[in-house]
């Protein structure tokens, strides 16, 4: 019997940290992975494509590169993101626009550019949101939180608009990899607020992405992967 063709996944921001973990997990589970990056080139995947997704035409260019190499797409994971811990007093137009351009507009334009290819194979999209902004407000992160709230709502709108051929879901990680600049005391304090008693790992997020990619009756889901932190009602 002929083997089914390998399913193709495009993962953005796949060169480092959470995006890389998602891409490697998919590859380990039999997916053909096209890995997008901006500055950290990923190694060992079926293809790697560079591109700036914060520009108005960056997503369409990445989609064209992908279509030049693959004739199918079964999964798009929008993981590339920018994280600005910026208080209101310093949140000017450029800070706000930077967050929105990459975290919300980029995924929207990439889904738009790839929707037809995804529909042909009955594929799906998984957006990497954040419990911060995606589910709960954070003080001192208004622009970031607004961009992740936008991505959460885009997930739901696109789930409706692209049904029944394309499913659109999101994972909402809590703390899984602290920014390198976070001091140990801040890490301990944040971890103390997590009901499951530990911070998460990129593997926790990757497992949730794979679940959503392979759940045929799930669309428009916003899945927190945060050890229950969003339940505590604590901001920031």
In whole angstroms, what is the distance from residue 51 CA to residue 55 CA?
9
Residue corresponding to tokens 């809590």: 174
Note the helical H segments in 193-234: 202-213
Asked whether position 66 contacts ligand NAP by CB under 6 A, the answer is: no
Q: How far is the CB of 116 from ligand NAP (least distance, A)?
A: 22
**Residue closer to ligand NAP (CB basis): 177 or 221:** 177
Residues between 186 and 225 that touch ligand NAP (CB under 6 A): none
Q: How far is the CB of 76 from ligand NAP (least distance, A)?
A: 14
C-beta atoms surrounding 140 within 10 Å:
15
Under rule CB under 6 A, residue 62 binds ligand NAP: no
User: CA dihedral defined by 214, 194, 131, 115, rounded to 10 degrees?
Assistant: -10
Evaluate whether 11 touches 34 at the Cβ level (below 8 Å). Answer: yes
- Among the listed residues 54, 84, 166, 168, the single contact to ligand NAP using CB under 6 A: 54
- Catalytic site residue 37? no
Report the alpha-carbon distance of residue 128 to residue 209 in Å, rounded.
Answer: 9
Stretch that binds ligand NAP, among 1-9, 17-25, 69-77, 89-97 (CB under 6 A): 17-25
15 contact partners, CB below 8 Å, separation of at least 6: 35, 37, 38, 39, 40, 41, 42
Is residue 38 at the binding interface for ligand NAP, with CB under 6 A as the rule? Answer: yes
Distance (Å, rounded) from C-alpha 184 to C-alpha 197? 16
| 39 is an interface residue for ligand NAP by CB under 6 A | yes
Task: Give the separation between CA 162 and CA 229, rounded to whole angstroms.
Answer: 31
Binding of residue 37 to ligand NAP (CB under 6 A): yes
59: contact with ligand NAP by CB under 6 A: no
Using CB under 6 A as the binding rule, whether residue 130 contacts ligand NAP is answered as: yes
Closest distance to ligand NAP from the beta carbon of 175 (Å): 5
Q: How far is the CB of 206 from ligand NAP (least distance, A)?
A: 11
Instruction: Please give the helix or strand (H or E) that residue 82 lies within, else none.
Output: none
Catalytic residues: 144
Residue ranges in contact with ligand NAP by CB under 6 A: 13, 15-19, 37-40, 52-54, 79-83, 102, 128, 130, 173, 175-177
């Amino acid at each position: 019997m002929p083997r089914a063709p390998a399913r193709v996944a495009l993962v953005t921001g796949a060169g480092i940290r959470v995006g890389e973990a998602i891409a490697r997990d998919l590859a380990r589970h039999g997916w053909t992975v096209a890995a997008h990056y901006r500055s950290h080139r990923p190694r060992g995947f079926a293809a790697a494509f560079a591109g700036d997704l914060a520009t108005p035409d960056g997503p369409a260019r990445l989609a064209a590169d992908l279509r030049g190499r693959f004739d199918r797409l079964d999964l798009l994971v929008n993981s590339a993101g920018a994280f600005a811990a910026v208080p209101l007093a310093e949140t000017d137009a450029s800070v706000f626009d930077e967050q929105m351009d990459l975290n919300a507009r980029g995924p929207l334009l990439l889904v738009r550019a790839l929707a037809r290819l995804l529909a042909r194979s009955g594929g799906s999209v998984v957006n990497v949101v954040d419990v911060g902004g995606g589910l709960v407000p954070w003080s001192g992160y208004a622009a970031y939180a607004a961009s992740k709230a936008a991505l959460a709502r885009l997930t739901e709108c696109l789930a409706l608009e692209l049904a029944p051929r394309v499913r659109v879901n999101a994972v909402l990680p809590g703390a899984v990899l602290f920014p390198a600049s976070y001091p140990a005391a801040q890490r301990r304090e944040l971890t103390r607020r997590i009901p499951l008693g530990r911070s998460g790992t990129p593997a926790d997020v990757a497992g949730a992405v794979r679940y959503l990619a392979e759940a045929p009756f799930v669309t428009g889901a916003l899945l927190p992967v945060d050890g229950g932190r969003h339940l505590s009602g604590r901001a920031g």
